Each structure stands twice: as C-alpha cells, then as structure tokens.
Amino acid sequence: MTNSTLQLGAEPIAARKPAAEVRLEGVGKRYGKVTAVKPLDLVIEAGSLVTLLGPSGCGKTTLLRMIAGLEQPTDGRLLIGGRDVTHLPPGERDVSMVFQSYALFPHMTIAQNVAFGLISGGMAKDAALAKADLALDQVGLPGLGGRLPSELSGGQQQRVAVARALVLEPSVLLFDEPLSNLDARLRRRMREEIRDLQQRLGVTVVYVTHDQSEALAVADKIVVMRNSEIAQIGSPRELYQQPANTFVASFMGECNNVKADLADVAGGRGRLTLGSSQVLTAVPDGLEQGQVDVAIRPEAVRVLPKDSGCLQGVVSHATYMGSCIEYEIETDIGGLFVVCGDIAGMRAKGDPVGLDFVASGIAVVRP
Amino acid sequence: MLRYCMLALLGLLAGLALLPWHMQEAGVLAGAWVRASMTSPNAAPALFQAAIFGRWWFIPIIAAAFLGLAVHVLFSGRKLSQASAARAMTAIGALGFFLILAQGAAIGPGGWSYAALSDAFGPLGQKQFGVGAGMAVTTIGFLTLFTTGLAGQGGFRSDPFTAFAVGLIALLIVSFTAWPVGRMLVMALSPTPGQNAIEALANRLLEPKIWGLACLYSGKSCGVAWNTVALALSTALAATMLGLCFALLVTRTSFPAKKLMRALTILPIITPSFVIGLGLILIFGRSGIVNQGIEQLFGLDLGRWIYGFQGVWLAQVFCFTPTAFLVLIGVVEGVSPTLEEAAGTLRADRWTTFWRVSLPLMRPGVANAFLVVFVESIADFGNPILLGGSLGLLSTEVYFAVVGAQANFSQAAALALLLLLLAFGAFYLQRKILGRYSYVSMSGKGDAGLGQPLPDRVRRFVYGVTLPWTVLTVGVYGMALVGGFVKVWGRDWSPTLSHYSRAFSLEWGPSGVLWSGSAWNSFFTTIQLAAISAPVTAAIGILTAWLLTRQRFAGRTALEFALMLSFAVPGTVLGVSYILAFNVPPLELTGTAVILVLCFTFRNMPVGVRAGMAAMSQIDKSLDEAAMVLRASAARTMTNVLLPLLRPAMVTALIYSFVRSITTVSAVIFLTSAEHEMATVFIINRVINGDYGVAIAYCSVLIVMMMVALGTIQLLVGRRNLGRRTAGAKAPAPAHA
Ligand SMILES: Nc1ncnc2c1ncn2[C@@H]1O[C@H](COP(=O)(O)OP(=O)(O)O)[C@@H](O)[C@H]1O
Ligand SMILES: [Mg+2]
C-alpha cells in the first residue's frame, strides 16, 4: 500500500465535465434553539479546493452537510453550478462526499462499494463493476475489488472511499475530515495525493478539517469558522500573514498577541512602534491609530546579542527541540514566544538578549 | 414521483377492478368469488358492482381513480408542473379516502346505516358487508397518491418512500389501535335510559363492585380496582426484589451456574403465563402433592387455599421475576465499577459503598422494573382465570362482562378503560423516571474498573433468597411437565401416555392421515396464524424503527409518542376494543382469522420495533447518508444497505413475534371463535374443566416446540454473526468530532 498513489493511469476516469461553482446565499441552520450555522454568504469558485477550518463544534460539518443535501438549511439558498439545489435531495445535486468514517458498506465487496453509486444512477451492473475496477486501479488498489472493507487497512479504506466518490464524476466533491482516522505519516501523504488529484481533475472540492497545517497544505482558499460564522476567508498565505483578528491569528499557528502603538494610518498601512524600532505594516479596515493588538509569529523574532536589536529581554525558558530552540523571553511589551534556528548559539535561562522583528511575520489585528 | 404515482394507480386498478370489494367467506385466495361475482354483487370487484349491479355509490370512488390517472398523464406529458401535480395528487388521495370511508359508514349490512339517510334518499334495497381485499388495496392506493403528493410538495424531504411509510404506519396505528380504543371509549360512554353519557359512565365506573372497601371491615371482598392495584403492587414489589437479588447474584458474585440462570429467563418468554398457575395447582391445589402429603401425614385438609389473592400473587411472582431480572441485570451492569472503586478509595467500606453509592445509582432502574412488572400484573389474564377463585380482578371482570350471561359490553368497556388508565399511569411514571434520573451510562464503552464484590450481609441475603426460589421455580415447571404423564393427578399416579394420545393422536384412515387428536385443530390454526402475522410484524416493526431512527419529518415525535402509547395498551383492553370496533362495517372482522392476525401483529409490534431500533442504532448513520449521496433512493438504501445488515434483527423479530403469538392469552381470548380456535384458549378451557392431563400435555408440546424453534434460530443467527466481519466502516474511531 505504501507504494501506491492516487496516480491516474493512461486513461483519465472519464472525460470530465466542467467543474461547478458553489454559491451560498444567506445559508444558515438552526436546530431548535441551537444555531449550528449563522446565515452566511460564500462563493466557492469552480475548480478550486476550499477548506472549512475551525475548532470543533463551530459548524463546519453542518455547513458541508448542507452543501451535500444531508441537512436542509433553515435559511437561505444554495446554488451549485448556477442551479438552485436548496430543496433537492443529495442524489440529485451532482455532488459526492467522502465521510469521516468512510462509511463503506461492510457487507459489500470493495468493487460493489465503488459500483454502488453507478448502479443507483441506472448503469448496468457489468458496466458499473468494470468502471469500478478501473477506478480502483486509478487510486492504486488494483485487484482488491473482491475484498471486504474490513480486510483493508485504514489508508486503503480511505482510498476506496475516494474512488467511490470520484467514480461518479461529480462536479463538486466534499470531504469531511477525511484524514482524521489516519496516523500522522499517512495523513501527510494522503493530503498531498488528494491535492494532486484535485488539481489534475480540476474538480471543485470542499474540504472540512480542524487541523490548520492540513488546511494550509491543501487549500487554494481557506474559510476559517468560529462560533457558527465565518471569521475570515483568504488564501493560506493571507490568513497566516494577515489574520483579521486574534482568533484567526492564534488558530493559524503559534503567535504572540501583544499591544503596540499604531501611528500614521493611511491607505491601509500604518507605522507600528515595537520597542525602539518602527515597522510599516498593513492595517485592517476601520482600525485607527492608538494602541492596537498585534500578532507576532514566533519565527518573526530574531534573537541577537544583548544590547543590539530594537528590544531588550531576558530568557525565562529555553527548550531544545532538535531542529530549533524555543524560547520564552520577558520583554517590556510582554512575554514573547520565539522559535530560533540557531542551535549552536543556544542561550540559557536568565541570559539577557536583544531582539529584532521581521516585518512579514507581524500583523495588526482586530481584537 | 412519477413512479410512485404509477404504483398508486396500479393499486387502484387492482383494488377496484380485480379484487372483490367485500370480505369473502371462503377467503380471497380460495377464488370462489371469481365465479360468483357475475351473479352476486357482494362477491364482485367495485367496478362490476357499479357497472352490473347498479351500485352507484362506487362511481365517485372510480371517478377519483380516473382523476388520478388524468393527473399522471398530464404530468408525464409535462402539461402540468410538478407542484400542481403534487397538489392534485394530495387532494385526490384525500378525496378517495374520504369516499371509501363515507360509503362504508353509510351503507351497511342492513342497507342505510342511519335513519336520516334512508329518510333522505329513500330505502335502499341493497346491503353490503365488511372490508375485503379490494377495499383494502384501494385504500392503500389512495394513500400512496396522497403521500406521494405530499412528498412532491417538498414534505418528508421530498422522498415519496418515506412519505408513504409514514402514511402507512399512521393509518395502521389509527385503524388498529386508536380507532378500537376510541370505540371502546364511546361504548363506555353509551347512555342508558334515563342517564346521559357522562352519568352512565360515572355510574359504571363508580360501582361498589369496583371501589368497595368491604374487605377492610367485614369478611366480604373489596372492589376489583383495589384488588387489581393491591395485587399488582405486591407482585411488583416481590418480583422486583427477587429480580434484583438474581441480578446481583449473576453480576456480583462468583456463583458458578450463571449461564443456567440466564437460560431460565427465557422460560417465561416461551411459556404461556398460565403454565405457572397450572404447576401451582398441581402442587398446592386440592389434589396437589403438598395438600395430599399433608392430608396423609397430619390428616389436615388444606382445601382450596391456593385459589384467591395469594395464589394469583404467587403465580405472578414466579412469572414476572424473570421479567424484572432481565430489566435489572442491565441496571446493575450499568453501575460503573469505577464509581464503586472511587468510593473505596474514599475510605468507604463495602457496605457503605453498596448502600450509599451502588443502590442509589440503581434506584431509577429498579423503579422502572417495578413499573414493568406492575403493568404485566394488571394485564395478566391466564393466572387470575386459573387461580383467582372468587377474587375479582379487572382483567377477568372485563372478560366475564363480555362472555357472561348479560353480555354487558358497556360495562366491559368501562372496566377496560380503567385498566387502560392504570397502564397509562404506569407508562407516564416510567417515562418520567427514565427521562429524569437515568444515571446509567448507556455509552457501551468498556469500563476499566472491576465490579465490587457484595458486602457479606448482602451476599448471604442474596444467596438465601435466590437459591430456594430457583428450586421452587424448577419444581413448578417440572411438575407441569410430569403432570402430562400421570393418569389422574392426585388420585391415580400410574404413568401413561394417554393424555398425549388424546390430544395428538393420528389415525390412518382410507384417505390418508386423520388428525384425530383433539388438539390438532387449534394447534394448526395457531401455528398458521402466528406464522402469517410474524413476517408482517417484523416488516412493520423494522419499517417503523427505520422511520424513527433514520428519518426526520414533521410529526415524528407525535408518531413515536403514539406508538409508545399503543405499546402500553394491555392485551385484555386491546382484545375488548377489537371486538367492539370490528363488529361493524366497514371494518367488520369479528370471527375471522384476519382479526386474530391483526391482533397478533399489533400486540407484538413492540418486539419488532425494539429489535429494529436496537439493530438500527448499531448501524452507523453515515452508511445511509453515503448511500443517499451515491444517488440511491430511500427504497434502494433500505433494500441494499440496511436490510442486509438488519437480517439478524429481522430473524429475532420474526421468532419472538411468532412465539409471543402462540403464548398470548389475554387478547385472543376475546377473539377466538369455534372456527379459529387458539391453542392457549383451548388449554385454558381444558383446565377450567379440570382436564389437567391434556392441558399439560399440550403445554409441554408447545414449550418443546418453541425451545426447538428458538434454539435453531439462535444457532443460525449466531453462526451468521461469526461469519460477519466487524463492520469495517466503523472500525477506526474518529479522532475528532
Ligand atoms: N442534529 C443536531 N441537533 C442539534 N444540534 C446539532 C446537531 N448537529 C450539530 N449540532 C450542533 O451544531 C454545532 C455545529 O456542529 P458541527 O457542524 O458538527 O461542528 P463541527 O463539525 O465544526 O465540529 C454544534 O454546536 C453541535 O452541537
Ligand atoms: Mg465535524
């Protein structure tokens, strides 16, 4: 299994129809008094891979299931490829889904599982099984069609689930935390394969995860959700470097939240005072000069000899991590968490150090 | 939607043109009606009745069917939008339904059913009888049209199959539970000369015979309501305590024969409840071995002491202890051992832990077991009829009111109403207790702790109670078995097979085997009807379980509540209400085999539904969702994904409903007829006549037969389970929600 990939064979699964855009207009979901998803607007461009990212319980799964048709929205309208599908059952939406638990039918063979959707759609049994075999070849599981799901490893089951969804040639493919049942190593491989596959087939993919590194690795665009609503939408780079608020900043990776003075705000940029130096940064709309929240990535702080740099501090913790050193440093603007690649020059607890900042890792954020 | 519309139209065609509208004496399958339908209107399908015999009241129904056809044609030709076609279908379905009801209610076996109608339309020379295959199928056809229309308008998540299933279950509950019980209520309210409805009911319910307290101050007996409640409370108390002891014995001691204990608990499932009563008579009755022994040794005549309150109480405690045990074993196992260990580390000794931690945790479960037994006791019919003597109880009084000389149906209905209220009261308390105080963890996750051994005092008590009781139980059943091989119990102890041969003899006559034994007739009827109703029960039960666990639709909670309520209706009440409701057209079924099958089916529904729900909750919901996303219709999901996974549950439901149909007494005793005699009723009648030998022989044959049936199934299902691999789709536990 370790040698197989989701490599396409000579033939593609089929001549693909164009991918479809998914458009949510004020779509929301309430369960009685509980609001699982507040009404929101979202456009997922045709052929792109969008991840829904957020902590557990923020409504990602509910949103995905509404796109799939497994839940009826209580508000709004949902369009796939320009067609209003709000009230259509899942089978008529031209979408397909890979479930978190894979949901392979335990009493059917792998081939029967993969052929299931084709047969539901009215294809003759023989043709469907032949096509299923082809799809299994293409996800790197040739010759396993006769087995039962319980006779496959977790990673293989995952591939079967993907094959079963892909063989229907949907214009939108949905994934709900597809990798959460795999071990860390396999998770990395599979996410690359899924990304690869999506790029080659050009299909629209909506991908739910709670793991920010997974989202950063696969997505064209990330939708960060919090408390049933969208916190920020952007490319991985935008979200990491210009988070809109402290929540997104912390969720997208380790970060130091400090207060600093902002001045000379004009044209979406401003001058930020950090210690004795001034940094020019982007400023989110609506923020004015004065004291603001600043997110500083740990790798954006450089550790220098004492009395150099723009800020002085004292090491309060130093942890050797193998590929880097992690420091906690007490400074005038608060405690800073710093990741430093200079292993040879490791400081000890109590050492005084100077600090400097890399502008690309600093962002002014809303609270 | 088109497909379902087509199916509905086919149903209407069959119901109106191919099947006889009315009930046929010989049954539809006999086919005699085909020839008769040219000459006799009551044997003909509705279409012929209208065309040949001038029965104009079928014309509107036929017209409604044609309207349905028109909608279908227009819709498939795209002359009609989906929305308007759906609305039309709903309307036509409802109209057809109403027309069927109206003609059935208006015209009965005596022409017009209401004087007002014959005044308005003039006398009618025709008469019609009860529901037949044609009417049933036509009704289903209109129902399908109606529900498909609802689904077409976006109801039931636009799924016509779900819509149909909900409609069907609702129709069945209304027709075969709500309507009969409602009729019973009306009957209880029927006015008498000089009294209006309320007064009449009050009069019936407030009789001293029901509420009298004479037993408190004189030698006379108290009212039947008090007797029933007192019996049920004392039975429940004793059975719950015994059941708890057995549950503790099996889970918390090192008692060696635990398997045997569990095996004993299936006895009450496969034996009619009165077998215990029979065994007690053989031990303590006038010619019972204890009485005989004491008379021989001490010259004392104990007389008929077993007949009366104490006898019924004893029999019921024997009967329902296993029931309580089955409930309580789950309760005891549900108390997390970790909590007990925690109490141990907090310096509590075993006694304190048991008394202050374990028992309080079990309290809701114990209360539930108490209520379960309470309901069983008030609904029990077999033991009171055998051992009650002059003790009046609600269930037997209902029976005597019906079969007694004056055949007072209104009184029977009033008493049954009281019984029903008691059962509903217990049901209400049960829901409240289980809803509010259930601490038992239901996650099914393994708990790392070890069950604490019982404190010595408790253990001694448990052993002291359970072991003698086990010996007694085995004795009672053993006696019931041996009795079949003794000539005349208590007088002539010589061994014989004559009872068996009287009941089950075969002779070879000129035309082959002659089933000359007296029991064969009821035996075959029982088996046949139970075998017909079992698949129906299983199918409806599993369909219902599927709706309740897998579908979300408006009114689901209402449906669930109605079902649970219908499960709480005691057998006696159901039996009485069936004879009250189904002796008038259009649903005129009294005396037929159909009513017995229906009674079995709706009595055993809980078995089917519970088996289905239990199995359904084992199947990951994402499997159905996956099927849905993979373009499968609800029907395909059902047949290709769920049913194969549900097979063991279906087999269980089949067998249990089969077995329960055979052993039930309370409901069928009202419904049997000379033509369709049930085994249990036959046996009870033998016992009442003092013909113990045949009764016992018959019971033994039934018990052995059902043991074999259960054993075979256990084996088959067990093997299937081994052959089935663990559900791969569920194997890895999700790392995050
Ligand atoms: N069927 C339901 N009934 C009631 N509340 C629900 C239901 N499904 C989800 N929720 C609630 O909606 C919120 C969002 O759930 P979900 O979409 O599963 O979150 P996520 O996938 O982001 O972890 C949660 O607070 C959850 O409790
Ligand atoms: Mg989720």
Assess whether B386 and B469 both reside in one domain: yes
Question: Is the model more confident about B652 or about A195?
Answer: A195
Alpha-carbon gap, residue A354 to A366, rounded angstroms: 28
CATH number of the domain enclosing B422: 1.10.3720.10
Q: pLDDT (tens digit, 9 = 90+) per residue, B45-92?
A: 888 888 888 888 888 999 999 999 999 999 888 888 888 999 999 999
Mean pLDDT, chain B, as a whole number?
A: 83
What is the best residue among A27, A40, A58 to mutate for testing ligand 1's pocket, by most ligand atoms within 8 Å of CB?
A: A58
Res. B438: pLDDT tops 60: no
Q: A223 phi and psi, to 5 degrees?
A: -110, 110
Report the gap between the CA of B711 and the closest CA in chain A (Å). Answer: 26
- CB of A56 within 6 A of ligand 1: the answer is yes
For chain B positions 601-640, those within 8 Å of chain A (CB to CB) are: 620, 622-623, 625-633, 636, 640
Specify which residues A258 forms β-bridges with.
Answer: A294
- CB of A61 within 6 A of ligand 1: the answer is yes
Alpha-carbon gap, residue B379 to B398, rounded angstroms: 11
Task: Please report residues of B whose CB lies closer than 8 A to that of A181.
Answer: 732-735
Assess whether B280 and B135 both reside in one domain: no
Res. B441: pLDDT tops 70: no
Two tokens, residue B702: 């039934």
- CB of A65 within 6 A of ligand 1: the answer is no
CB-based contact B641:B624 (threshold 8 Å):
yes
- In whole angstroms, how large is the CA radius of gyration of chain B? 29
Res. B729: pLDDT tops 70: no
pLDDT for res B451: 63
B557 part of contact set with chain A, CB < 8 Å: no
Range list for CATH 3.40.50.300 in chain A: 22-241
What band does B341 get if pLDDT is binned at 50, 70 and 90?
confident
CB-based contact A336:A329 (threshold 8 Å):
yes
- Residues near A165 by Cβ (< 8 Å), separated by ≥ 6? A96, A97, A98, A173, B629
- Note whether A180 contacts B734, CB cutoff 8 Å: yes
- CB of A31 within 6 A of ligand 1: the answer is yes
Buried b (16+ CB within 10 A) or exposed e, B61-79: bbebbebbeebbeebeeee
Q: How far is CA A241 from CA A235, A253, A278, B442, in A?
A: 10, 10, 18, 47
Specify which residues A225 forms β-bridges with.
Answer: A230
Which atom of ligand 1 lies nearest, measured to the CA of A64?
17
Alpha-carbon gap, residue B42 to B55, rounded angstroms: 11
The type of residue at A49 is L
Assess whether B410 and B526 both reside in one domain: no
What band does B303 get if pLDDT is binned at 50, 70 and 90?
confident
Residue B389, phi-psi category: left (phi > 0), alpha (psi -120 to 50), beta (remainder): left
Assess whether B308 and B441 both reside in one domain: yes
Q: Is residue B544 a part of any domain in this protein?
A: yes
Q: What is the Å distance from ligand 1's center to A57 Cα?
A: 6
CB-based contact A274:A302 (threshold 8 Å):
no
B513 part of contact set with chain A, CB < 8 Å: no
pLDDT for res B68: 92
pLDDT for res A4: 41
Alpha-carbon gap, residue A257 to B507, rounded angstroms: 98
B733 part of contact set with chain A, CB < 8 Å: yes
The type of residue at B112 is W
Two tokens, residue A238: 């935008």
Assess whether B135 and B252 both reside in one domain: no
pLDDT for res A90: 86
Q: B384 phi and psi, to 5 degrees?
A: -60, -40
Specify which residues A361 forms β-bridges with.
Answer: none
Q: pLDDT (tens digit, 9 = 90+) per residue, B669-708?
A: 888 887 888 899 999 888 888 788 888 889 888 888 888 8
How open is the CA angle B106-B112-B116, to the nearest 5 degrees?
A: 85
pTM listed for this prediction: 0.80
**Ligand nearest, relative to CA of residue A58:** 1
CB-closest option in A87, A157, A168 to B158: A87
CB-based contact B282:B479 (threshold 8 Å):
yes
- Note whether A106 contacts B725, CB cutoff 8 Å: yes
Total residues found in chain A within this entry: 367
Alpha-carbon gap, residue A284 to A262, rounded angstroms: 12
Assess whether B666 and B551 both reside in one domain: yes
Average pLDDT over residues A317-335: 91
- CB of B737 within 6 A of ligand 1: the answer is yes
Listed residues: CB within 5 A of ion ligand 2: A 61
Which atom of ligand 1 lies nearest, measured to the CA of A32?
4
Give the class (CATH, top level) of A22-241.
Answer: alpha beta
- CB of A28 within 6 A of ligand 1: the answer is no
B154 part of contact set with chain A, CB < 8 Å: yes
Q: Which of A309-323, B401-415, B644-658 has the highest average model confidence (pLDDT)? A: A309-323
What band does A2 get if pLDDT is binned at 50, 70 and 90?
very low
Res. B440: pLDDT tops 50: no
What band does B365 get if pLDDT is binned at 50, 70 and 90?
confident
Dihedral over Cα of B299, B300, B301, B305: its sign: negative
pLDDT for res B445: 40
B723 part of contact set with chain A, CB < 8 Å: no
- Note whether B631 contacts A99, CB cutoff 8 Å: no
Task: Please report residues of A whose CB lies closer than 8 A to that of B737.
Answer: 56-57
CB-based contact B381:B400 (threshold 8 Å):
no
CB-based contact A13:A135 (threshold 8 Å):
yes
- First-to-last CA distance in chain B? 37
Nearest residue CA, atom 20 of ligand 1? A57
| ipTM above 0.90 for this complex | no
Q: What is the Å distance from ligand 1's center to B628 Cα?
A: 20
Percentage of residues in chain A with pLDDT exceeding 90?
Answer: 52
Assess whether B565 and B659 both reside in one domain: yes
- Note whether A101 contacts B632, CB cutoff 8 Å: no
**Ligand nearest, relative to CA of residue B735:** 2
Task: Please report residues of A whose CB lies closer than 8 A to that of B724.
Answer: 106-107
Query: From the centroid of its chain, how far is CA B498?
Result: 35
The type of residue at B346 is L
Q: What is the Å distance from ligand 1's center to A59 Cα?
A: 6
Average pLDDT over residues B405-426: 88
Q: In which residue are the tokens 């004993």 written? A: B264
Q: Is residue B183 a part of any domain in this protein?
A: no
pLDDT for res B63: 93
pLDDT for res A249: 92
- CB of A209 within 6 A of ligand 1: the answer is no
Q: Is residue B334 a part of any domain in this protein?
A: yes
Q: pLDDT (tens digit, 9 = 90+) per residue, A216-225?
A: 999 999 999 9
pLDDT for res B450: 57
Specify which residues A51 forms β-bridges with.
Answer: A207, A222
Alpha-carbon gap, residue B273 to B269, rounded angstroms: 9
Instruction: Single out the residue in B153, B171, B200 at which a domain terminates.
Output: B153
Average pLDDT over residues A196-201: 88
Nearest alpha-carbon partner for B413 in B192, B678, B174, B562 = B192
Q: In which residue are the tokens 């409240």 written? A: B432
Alpha-carbon gap, residue B591 to B211, rounded angstroms: 34
Q: Is residue B510 a part of any domain in this protein?
A: no
- Note whether A177 contacts B734, CB cutoff 8 Å: yes
Q: pLDDT (tens digit, 9 = 90+) per residue, B215-247?
A: 777 777 778 899 999 999 999 999 999 999 998
The type of residue at B63 is A
CB-based contact A257:A250 (threshold 8 Å):
yes
Which atom of ligand 1 lies nearest, measured to the CA of A62?
17
Average pLDDT over residues B398-403: 87
Minimum Cα–Cα distance from A54: chain B residue: B737
Res. A348: pLDDT tops 70: yes
Minimum Cα–Cα distance from A115: chain B residue: B630
Which atom of ligand 1 lies nearest, measured to the CA of A65?
17
What band does B718 get if pLDDT is binned at 50, 70 and 90?
low
Q: What is the Å distance from ligand 1's center to B633 Cα?
A: 26
Alpha-carbon gap, residue B203 to B208, rounded angstroms: 10
Question: Helix, strand, or coil here: B391?
Answer: coil
Assess whether B268 and B141 both reside in one domain: no
Res. B336: pLDDT tops 90: no
- Residues near A47 by Cβ (< 8 Å), separated by ≥ 6? A19, A202, A203, A204
Residue A174: half-sphere exposure toward Cβ, Cα within 13 Å: 28
Q: Is residue B732 a part of any domain in this protein?
A: no
Task: Please report residues of B whose CB lies closer than 8 A to that of A165.
Answer: 629
pLDDT for res B732: 34
Alpha-carbon gap, residue A211 to A252, rounded angstroms: 9
Dihedral over Cα of B603, B604, B608, B609: its sign: positive
Q: pLDDT (tens digit, 9 = 90+) per residue, B492-544?
A: 888 888 888 888 888 877 777 777 788 888 999 999 999 999 999 989 988 99
Dihedral over Cα of A208, A210, A213, A214: its sign: negative
Q: pLDDT (tens digit, 9 = 90+) per residue, A23-43?
A: 999 999 998 899 999 999 999
pLDDT for res B449: 52
Nearest alpha-carbon partner for A100 in A77, A129, A143, A68 = A68
Q: What is the Å distance from ligand 2's center to B655 Cα?
A: 40
CB-based contact B406:B345 (threshold 8 Å):
no
| Number of separate domains in chain B | 3
Q: How far is CA B390 from CA A149, B89, B206, B291, B415, in A?
A: 65, 59, 21, 20, 18
Q: Is residue B637 a part of any domain in this protein?
A: yes
Alpha-carbon gap, residue A355 to A311, rounded angstroms: 5
Q: How far is CA B388 from CA B392, B675, B688, in A?
A: 7, 28, 12
What band does A12 get if pLDDT is binned at 50, 70 and 90?
very low
Residue B27: domain span:
2-116+124-153
CB-based contact A33:A175 (threshold 8 Å):
no
Task: Please report residues of B whose CB lies closer than 8 A to that of A168.
Answer: 630-631
Res. A126: pLDDT tops 60: yes
pLDDT for res A1: 38
The type of residue at B391 is L
| Lowest mean per-residue pLDDT among B24-28, B68-72, B166-170, B725-729 | B725-729
Two tokens, residue B337: 């051992």
Assess whether B444 and B524 both reside in one domain: no
Total Cβ atoms within 10 A of residue B127: 14
- CB of A62 within 6 A of ligand 1: the answer is yes
Assess whether B45 and B141 both reside in one domain: yes
Nearest residue CA, atom 3 of ligand 1? A31
- Note whether B158 contacts A150, CB cutoff 8 Å: no
Interface of A with B (CB under 8 A): 56-57, 68-70, 72, 87-92, 95-97, 99-107, 116-117, 120-121, 148-152, 154, 157, 164-165, 168, 177, 180-181, 210
Which alpha helices (DSSP H) does B107-132 contain, by range? 115-121
Nearest residue CA, atom 4 of ligand 1? A31
What band does B722 get if pLDDT is binned at 50, 70 and 90?
very low
Q: Is residue B207 a part of any domain in this protein?
A: no
pLDDT for res B689: 84
Mean pLDDT, chain A, as a whole number?
A: 88
Q: Is residue B405 a part of any domain in this protein?
A: yes
Assess whether B302 and B400 both reside in one domain: yes
CB-based contact A271:A279 (threshold 8 Å):
yes
Which atom of ligand 1 lies nearest, measured to the CA of A31?
4
Assess whether B554 and B458 both reside in one domain: no
Q: pLDDT (tens digit, 9 = 90+) per residue, B444-457?
A: 344 445 566 788 88
Res. A259: pLDDT tops 70: yes
CB-based contact B233:B320 (threshold 8 Å):
no
CB-based contact A221:A234 (threshold 8 Å):
yes
